[in-house]
Chain A
Amino acid sequence: MEASKVIHAIYNDDDVLMNAVKKVKAAKHHIDEVYTPFPVHGLDKAMGLEPTRLAIASFMYGCVGLTVAFLMMNFIMIEDWPQDIGGKPSFSYLENMPAFVPIMFELTVFFAAHLMVITFYLRSKMWPFKKAENPDPRTTDDHFLMEIGIHGNEKELHNLLAETGAVEINIVDKAHH
């Protein structure tokens, strides 16, 4: 269950943030989210996020693209309207295959890349006209924000985060937003 009250700890250095994340994890608190102006190397592992499955999805999209290319070229060039190009009127997919390899390659890449990006956006809950979830605009500039849910342990969390070198700590009631 998502807590209605959260604590926002703001940092101004990614190394400090990394150490803070490790400390908070060591104290067995669940970090809801970290907002950073740029990708911080190793942050996902420190936060204990599961590895992404985007690569597997991408592989499957690539396979779909390859299949589409195969079916499309077979229909266009062999079945529907057989053509004699370069003196190769063999009307056989296999014998004309080298000529289709660039198309097979391109469609594999096209499907894998585009569908992967779309999947990534949807999985990140981003779509057109979506209102930004970003709690503090400074995280798009030079500050890092760690969000932790409060479950009646406000004081303890406050002290812990103050120790980790946070430059600012705010308690935010999400319900009022």
Chain B
Amino acid sequence: MYTFSNRLKISAVILIVLGLIGIAKGFKDAHHYETVEDVKTMLAEEASHGGHGESHDTVAVHATETHDNHASDNDHHDGEHIEDSHAEASHHVDKPLHADEADHHSIDVGHHGDEHAEHVMHQLHNRPWSALYVAAFFFMMIALGALVFYALQYAAQAGWSPLLFRVMEGITYYLLPGALIVVAIAFFSGYHIFVWMNPDMINPESADYDKLVAGKSAWLNKPWFIIRALIFITGWSLYRYFSRKFSIAQDEAEPGDKRNFKKNFRISAAFLVFFIYTESMMSWDWIMSVDPHWFSTLFGWYVLAGMMVCAITVIAMITIYLKSKGLLPKVNDSHIHDLAKFMFGFSIFWTYLWFSQFMLIWYSNIPEEVTYFVTRIEDYNLPFFGMIVMNFIFPLLLLMNSDYKRISWFVIMAGIVILGGHYIDIFNMIMPATVGDRWYIGAPEIGSILLFAGLFLLIVFYAISKQSLTAKGNPFIKESENFHY
């Protein structure tokens, strides 16, 4: 039995408070630029320092040619122009696809400046919302991944893992609040995150009308988005509720009475079927639709792979933590070894899917697809390639040796890098669509991570402290205790 120590509780609360301060600062900073005029002043300052415009030389070469008629404009304007053409290349569509763009610019230079400044203002305002959303999704995904891993253990009738079931059940307790928070942020963010939520985009009368988004409006509309989200969350939470209930009931059952275990086996198999459909749709809805023009058919798998790595990493970390307190005496280094093998394996699987998605789009080089990676490579070069080092090369080399997989602190250190890498992965999925090149890992991003980390610790360790740490009624518990590699 684990008692939630006060020290951990206070640490979690401190994380939450620090997080809230960071987020508040993020919102305050973003609304420092309240009007287009404020943004123009800022842009003028940036241009005079030469920083922003210059760093985008390569972008100018790459970007759309419609703006060539501006080449003779003054320097100051040119700096802005490069950014603007870049922003269009990056597919950020809060001012969607102007067919008459060239006219716009050649007729009215002043108006162009306004439009660009407005665009930057939107990006600045999107940033704290996006930061909040990325962190919320990241921690929700850990709980969801843990739930799937747990269901897999039941469906496969795995013998090695029942000693870890109470840890997994603790982590999955965060799923319901975590997922509701994600949906709430999406709902209340207006269209700061999901540009298709802007009603003007599907209104043919509006200047913001976008034919592609309008074409997808049967799927991408706010009520149906919320209904779908509620269906997903209800399904997952029902499974979570009943599997936990049966798992605990099995502990109290008479010896030889395996009915609860069998029920768990059946609902786990059913959940896995439900999950693989809803996870795919969830990843289209909650992530892929931030770029409503872009799509990838293996996106659901890709998100799933990242989710599983993070979940198994967190299971391993919490197991090692509880074991270090002497609370999981029967967990031996073979269990840690197996978890680390999964961390290693799913890291490779993630890389495989990441690369499969990247290579096909890179090779075919179709403008409306490849823009996704152009933005990421040009504006997000360090996080984009850094994440491959953190999520692939690092675990590949560190966790390859079988002896290292048994060393607790080694698994923890590798786990921290993997979690950081997968946070950046989610960051790279959301941010390019919402803030373009105006990204930074600053107060709102770190604040959001702290806030949700605190919330996650509070909820997960509360759930772990509720029940005995050994699922003693599980028919495979003896096998799990004797498990050795």
Chain A residues in the interface with B (C-beta under 8 A): 42, 55, 59, 86-88, 98-99, 101-102
Instruction: Tell me if B358 counts as interface (CB < 8 A to partner A).
Output: yes
Chain B residues in the interface with A (C-beta under 8 A): 355, 358-359, 362-365, 400, 402, 484
A42 contacts which chain B residues (CB < 8 A)?
484
Minimum CB distance partner of B401 in chain A: A55
Q: Are A99 and B365 in contact (CB under 8 A)?
A: no
Q: List 19 A-B contacts (CB under 8 A).
A: A42-B484, A55-B402, A59-B400, A86-B363, A86-B364, A86-B365, A87-B365, A88-B363, A88-B365, A98-B355, A98-B358, A98-B359, A98-B362, A98-B363, A99-B359, A99-B363, A101-B355, A101-B359, A102-B359
Known: A98-B363, A102-B359. 9 other contacts (CB 8 A): A55-B402, A86-B363, A86-B364, A86-B365, A87-B365, A88-B363, A88-B365, A99-B359, A101-B355
**Alpha-carbon distance between A98 and B484 when the two chains are bound, in angstroms:** 40
A59 contacts which chain B residues (CB < 8 A)?
400
Minimum CB distance partner of A55 in chain B: B402
Please give the distance in Å from A62's CB to the nearest CB on chain B: 10
A87 contacts which chain B residues (CB < 8 A)?
365
A99 contacts which chain B residues (CB < 8 A)?
359, 363
B484 contacts which chain A residues (CB < 8 A)?
42
**Alpha-carbon distance between A134 and B363 when the two chains are bound, in angstroms:** 55
**Alpha-carbon distance between A98 and B388 when the two chains are bound, in angstroms:** 14
Minimum CB distance partner of B402 in chain A: A55
Minimum CB distance partner of A59 in chain B: B400
A88 contacts which chain B residues (CB < 8 A)?
363, 365
B365 contacts which chain A residues (CB < 8 A)?
86-88
Please give the distance in Å from B398's CB to the nearest CB on chain A: 14
Please give the distance in Å from A118's CB to the nearest CB on chain B: 22
B402 contacts which chain A residues (CB < 8 A)?
55
B400 contacts which chain A residues (CB < 8 A)?
59
A101 contacts which chain B residues (CB < 8 A)?
355, 359
Please give the distance in Å from A171's CB to the nearest CB on chain B: 36
Minimum CB distance partner of B360 in chain A: A98
Please give the distance in Å from A57's CB to the nearest CB on chain B: 14
* Central interface residue in B363, B364, B402, by most chain A CB within 10 Å: B363
